[in-house]
């Protein structure tokens, strides 16, 4: 029992000694130095804004079509006896060129007969006029002896007979005119300078009145229907009428440009696309006069319609505009500028508002942004870092 008590006392003494030594050592240790708390300022990336004058062109597209397209049909009946070498698909012809000829023999004979009938009618008319003059002379002689007791009839004075001869003469004249017109119609002529798009007859073909002969398209002017969204019309003067248009498409593997002008609006909204359509006109699309690169019918073109010039606008990334405001760095603090989005172009917005030229737009995200909070320009912070000693750099290279 005594030995147990003795062991317990020794253990307590050791524990108390250890505690005392630890307390002494703790008292001798210097307290940690208090570090000054530094304010954490977010670092942001900024971009300099540029205020400029921008022409807000309106982009569109369309297919090139001829201004005039004509289907040629036979106006007389007969056999095709001649066909021009230019009357082939893709051939170019001038106004008045003879494309084909229908056998004229029957129509030449009809003209001869009509001219003969006209000569007979003319002779009959002259004879009747002479007889009318004779009847009037007889009446003058009779009137003096009859002492106004006799009243001549129109038939006696040959007025109905003369009217009949005049009518027959005019009918004969009309017959000659008709025969000449039918003879002229045996010539199939180009109504204007054109490119042949189809031919449906061959040498020896027999055609009737209304039979298709071929098709051709005018080469003086081409047209392109350009769809424009309603919201884009605000950027065009006079609804786009008389606006210049730049057309672009591929020709022989290269991009080419053609100049056009908006000549009219179709004046209605398409039921399916909900677009308004402007019509642009191109002169000499095949370059037959100007020797320019041809703009072929059926080509797909992209179009830039010249729009309004707007001053004091900026081009910024679309994600930087939030609730009609843009964050900027002003004297080291966060500020906001109110802007109005005029147009979206790809990933950019065209904006107008309080943004000044060379103002620093914040291009990076900020956690819990608040107007007036301090920010640091990333470019300035990088420039302010101390330069690394040359010896240290050399040692790093050796390692």
Q: What is the pLDDT of residues 196-215, one digit of tens each?
A: 999 999 999 999 999 999 99
Please say which residue of 216, 247, 277 terminates a domain: 216
pLDDT confidence bin for 12, thresholds 50/70/90: low
Cβ neighbours of 270 (radius 10 Å): 12
Q: How many domains does the chain have?
A: 3
Q: What is the pLDDT of residue 148?
A: 58
Task: Report the C-alpha gap between 337 and 323 in whole angstroms.
Answer: 11
In angstroms, the CA 234 to CA 315 distance is: 19
- Choosing from 155, 188, 216, the residue where a domain stops is 216
On the question of pLDDT at 7 being above 80, the answer is no
Q: What is the DSSP letter of 197?
A: E
**pTM score above 0.85:** no
User: Can you count the helices (H) and strands (E) in the chain?
Assistant: 5, 24
pLDDT tens digits for 285-336?
999 998 889 999 999 999 999 988 888 899 999 888 988 899 888 888 888 9
* Percentage of the chain lying above the pLDDT 70 cut: 81
Task: From 167, 197, 216, give the residue that closes a domain.
Answer: 216
User: 111, exposed or middle or buried, with CB in 10 Å at 0-12, 13-18, 19+?
Assistant: buried
Q: Across residues 333-351, what is the average pLDDT?
A: 88
Asked whether the predicted pLDDT for residue 166 surpasses 80, the reply is: yes
Same domain, 180 and 86: yes
Tens-digit pLDDT profile for residues 16-72: 556 556 655 555 555 556 555 556 788 888 888 889 988 889 999 999 999 999 999
pLDDT tens digits, one per residue of 117-127 = 999 999 988 88
- Domain that residue 134 falls in: 69-216
Are 76 and 197 in a shared domain?
yes
At residue 163, the pLDDT reads 84
CATH code of the domain covering residue 273: 2.40.30
Task: With a cut of 50, say whether residue 390 has pLDDT above it.
Answer: no
Looking at the structure, do residues 154 and 224 belong to the same domain, yes or no? no
Residues 83 and 188 in one domain: yes
Q: Rounded to 5 degrees, what are φ and ψ at 260?
A: -135, 175
């Amino acid at each position: 029992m005594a030995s147990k008590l003795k062991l317990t006392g020794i253990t307590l003494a050791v524990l108390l000694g250890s505690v005392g030594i630890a307390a002494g050592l703790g008292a001798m240790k210097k307290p940690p130095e208090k570090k000054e708390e530094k304010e954490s300022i977010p670092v942001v990336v900024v971009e300099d804004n540029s205020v400029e004058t921008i022409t807000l062109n309106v982009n569109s597209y369309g297919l090139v079509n001829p201004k005039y397209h004509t289907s040629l049909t036979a106006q007389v009946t007969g056999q095709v006896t001649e066909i021009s070498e230019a009357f082939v698909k893709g051939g170019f012809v001038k106004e008045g060129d003879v494309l084909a000829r229908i056998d004229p023999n029957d129509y030449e004979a009809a003209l001869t007969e009509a001219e003969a009938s006209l000569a007979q009618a003319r002779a009959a008319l002259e004879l009747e006029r002479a007889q009318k003059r004779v009847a009037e002379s007889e009446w003058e002689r009779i009137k003096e002896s009859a002492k106004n007791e006799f009243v001549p009839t129109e038939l006696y004075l040959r007025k109905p007979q003369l009217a009949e001869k005049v009518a027959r003469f005019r009918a004969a004249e009309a017959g000659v005119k008709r025969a000449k017109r039918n003879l002229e119609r045996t010539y199939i002529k180009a109504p204007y300078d054109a490119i042949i798009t189809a031919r449906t007859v061959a040498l020896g073909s027999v055609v009737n009145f209304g039979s298709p002969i071929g098709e051709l398209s005018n080469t003086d002017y081409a047209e392109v229907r350009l769809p424009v969204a309603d919201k884009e019309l605000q950027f065009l003067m006079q609804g786009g009428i008389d606006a210049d248009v730049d057309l672009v498409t591929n020709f022989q593997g290269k991009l080419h440009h053609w100049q056009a002008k908006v000549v009219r609006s179709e004046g209605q909204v398409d039921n399916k696309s909900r677009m308004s359509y402007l019509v642009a006109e191109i002169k000499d699309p095949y370059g037959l006069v100007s020797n320019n690169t041809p703009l072929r019918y059926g080509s797909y073109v992209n179009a830039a319609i010249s729009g309004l010039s707007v001053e004091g606008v900026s081009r910024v990334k679309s994600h930087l505009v939030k609730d009609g405001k843009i964050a900027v760095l002003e004297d080291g603090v966060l500020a906001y500028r109110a802007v109005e989005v005029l147009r979206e172009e790809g990933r950019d917005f065209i904006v107008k508002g309080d943004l000044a030229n060379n103002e620093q737009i914040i291009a990076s995200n900020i956690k819990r942004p608040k107007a007036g909070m301090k920010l640091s320009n990333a470019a300035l912070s990088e420039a302010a870092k101390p330069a690394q000693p040359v010896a240290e750099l050399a040692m790093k290279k050796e390692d």
